[in-house]
Amino acid sequence: MASISQKHIQLALSLPPRLRTFFARYPAATILPEGTAPESAKTPYQEEAPNPFLSTKHPVTGRWHDPKYSLRRQAELVKLARTHGVEELLPFTTKGTEERIRKRVELGLRVKGTGVGEKVKGHKHERHLVAKMEKRRKAMLDMPDLIREWKKVGKRNWTRWPK
């Protein structure tokens, strides 16, 4: 048991100072020692704001307070935690990898014309390009027959098109 706690302490000391400070202020419930109630182990920071990444409503005035960590700082913390393999210990944030993947799946790329059955308007020559290229392809495939027909008709009757 002592070797396991020593191992956790060594891992915690290997983290960068910003992550160490964050986990000291807002320890995850999963890293608390067994037998301790989560409510009794709350730090003063956690009592003030349980999740520092979300806005909180003041109980008396009813006014909303900004999160303790801005979106930019949240993103930096998530990136740091991801590189050190402790992202799952962070509280919920919209900057987390799972949340970003969920949003990407739900909303897609959000670029007009990339969805199923969508088209981008484009210029007239862009809209007609597919039909024009198909017509050109068909003419190229029919070209040997047309040449053969012209050779049958001869030079003098080139004005008459074969039907």
**Per-residue confidence in pLDDT tens, the chain, 163 aa:** 556 678 878 888 899 999 999 999 999 887 776 766 666 778 899 998 999 999 999 999 999 999 999 999 999 999 999 999 999 999 999 999 999 999 888 877 777 776 667 777 888 998 899 999 999 999 999 999 988 988 888 767 666 555 5
Residue type, 54: L
- The predicted pLDDT at position 66 comes to 96
- The predicted pLDDT at position 65 comes to 96
The Cα 137–Cα 51 span in angstroms is 62
Which position has the token pair 């009794």?
Answer: 40
Which residues on adjacent β-strands are paired with residue 65? 56
- The predicted pLDDT at position 79 comes to 97
The Cα 12–Cα 150 span in angstroms is 86
Reported in sequence order, the residue ranges of the chain that DSSP labels E, i.e. its strands, are: 56-57, 64-65
- The predicted pLDDT at position 51 comes to 95
- The predicted pLDDT at position 115 comes to 63
How distant, in Å, are the alpha carbons of 22, 69, 70, 125, 138 from that of 55? Answer: 17, 10, 10, 51, 63
The Cα 80–Cα 74 span in angstroms is 10
- The predicted pLDDT at position 2 comes to 59
Phi then psi dihedrals of residue 71, to 5 deg = -60, -35
Q: Are 28 and 51 in contact (CB under 8 A)?
A: no
- The predicted pLDDT at position 74 comes to 97
